[in-house]
C-alpha cells in the first residue's frame, strides 16, 4: 500500500463544466504517464485519473463537481490547506519515447488522461477526437495538431477509420467508460491498428468505492 498526503491548493473551472483541482504532495511521489490514484476525501473513496504530467510539480485531479455524490461534495468542500489521502498511483500508459504521433480517442471527462499525456510529451504530434462534452477543450485544443469534437456517437465512430487512415503508425490512447473503451478498441482493430499500438486507461471497470 502506497499512501500519500496531499495538500489542497485550489480549483479552476472551465467553461465546459469540468474542474481541475490542484494539490501539493507532502513528499515526493514517483509517477509515470496515464496513472490513476484512489482518492480519500471527506469520508468517500474513489479512483480518479491523475490529470497532471509526471514531471509537473503539482498533482492534479480533473472531474465534474455537479453530480452531488459524496466524493464530489467532499471535493467541493475543500479549502486551501486541507489534506486528502491518495493510495497509489497505479497503472499507467506505456508508450515508446519517440516521435510517433498519439491519437486520443476520448469520451467526456476521459480528457484528463489526454491532458496528462499531452503535457508530458508536448513535442509529439497529438490528435484529439472527443465525443461528449469538450472537457478541457479550451486548454487542450491549442496544444494538439488537430482537435475533433463529433456531435454524436455515430459521428465519432465514423471518425475512427478516417483518423486511422490519416495517422498511420500512431499510438492510440482510449479513455472513457468500459463499454466505450471496448467498442473503440474493437473499431481500431477492425481498422487494422496493431494491438500493441492501442492503449486503454488502466482503471476502467473499478467500482465507485464511495462510502
Angle between helix axes 153-166 and 178-190 (nearest 10 degrees) is 40
99 φ, ψ (degrees, to nearest 5): -95, 10
pLDDT score recorded for residue 21: 98
Residues 40 and 86: beta-carbon distance below 8 Å: yes
203 pLDDT band, cuts 50/70/90, is low
Determine the average pLDDT of the residues in 61-86.
Answer: 94
Distance CA 41, CA 149 (A): 32
Percent of the chain with pLDDT over 70: 94
The mean predicted confidence, pLDDT, of the chain is: 91
Question: What does pTM read for this prediction?
Answer: 0.89
How many whole angstroms separate alpha carbon 90 and alpha carbon 36? 6
Number of C-beta neighbours around residue 167 at 10 A: 19
Tell me how far apart the terminal alpha carbons of the chain are, to the nearest angstrom: 20
Question: So what's the pLDDT on residue 1?
Answer: 58
Q: DSSP secondary structure string, 115-146?
A: HHHHHH-TTS-EEEEEESS-TTHHHHGGGSSE
Q: Decide: 6 and 85 in contact? Cβ < 8 Å.
A: yes
Report, as an integer, the average pLDDT of 70-88: 96
pLDDT band, very low/low/confident/very high, at 210 (cuts 50, 70, 90) = very low
Tens digit of each residue's pLDDT (9 = 90 or more) over 120-173: 999 999 999 999 999 999 999 999 999 999 999 999 999 999 999 999 889 999
Q: DSSP H helical segments within the chain, as ranges?
A: 70-77, 111-120, 137-140, 153-166, 178-190
| Mean pLDDT confidence for 39-62 | 94
Amino acid at each position: 500500500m502506497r499512501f500519500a498526503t496531499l495538500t489542497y491548493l485550489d480549483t479552476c473551472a472551465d467553461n465546459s463544466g469540468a474542474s481541475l483541482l490542484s494539490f501539493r504532495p507532502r513528499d515526493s511521489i514517483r509517477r509515470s504517464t496515464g496513472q490513476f490514484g484512489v482518492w480519500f476525501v471527506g469520508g468517500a473513496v474513489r479512483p480518479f485519473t491523475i490529470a497532471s504530467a509526471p514531471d509537473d510539480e503539482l498533482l492534479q485531479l480533473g472531474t465534474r463537481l455537479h453530480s452531488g455524490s459524496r466524493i464530489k461534495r467532499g471535493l467541493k468542500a475543500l479549502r486551501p490547506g486541507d489534506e486528502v489521502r491518495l493510495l497509489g498511483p497505479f497503472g499507467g500508459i506505456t508508450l515508446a519515447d519517440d516521435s510517433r504521433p498519439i491519437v486520443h480517442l476520448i469520451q467526456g471527462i476521459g480528457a484528463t488522461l489526454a491532458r496528462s499525456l499531452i503535457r508530458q510529451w508536448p513535442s509529439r504530434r497529438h490528435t484529439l477526437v472527443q465525443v461528449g462534452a469538450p472537457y478541457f477543450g479550451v486548454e487542450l485544443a491549442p496544444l494538439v495538431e488537430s482537435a475533433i469534437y463529433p456531435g454524436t456517437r455515430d459521428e465519432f465512430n465514423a471518425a475512427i477509420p478516417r483518423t486511422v487512415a490519416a495517422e498511420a503508425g500512431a499510438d492510440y490512447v482510449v479513455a472513457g467508460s468500459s463499454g466505450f473503451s471496448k467498442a473503440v478498441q474493437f473499431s481500431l482493430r477492425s481498422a487494422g491498428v496493431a494491438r500493441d499500438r492501442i492503449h486503454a486507461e488502466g482503471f476502467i471497470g473499478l467500482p465507485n468505492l464511495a462510502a
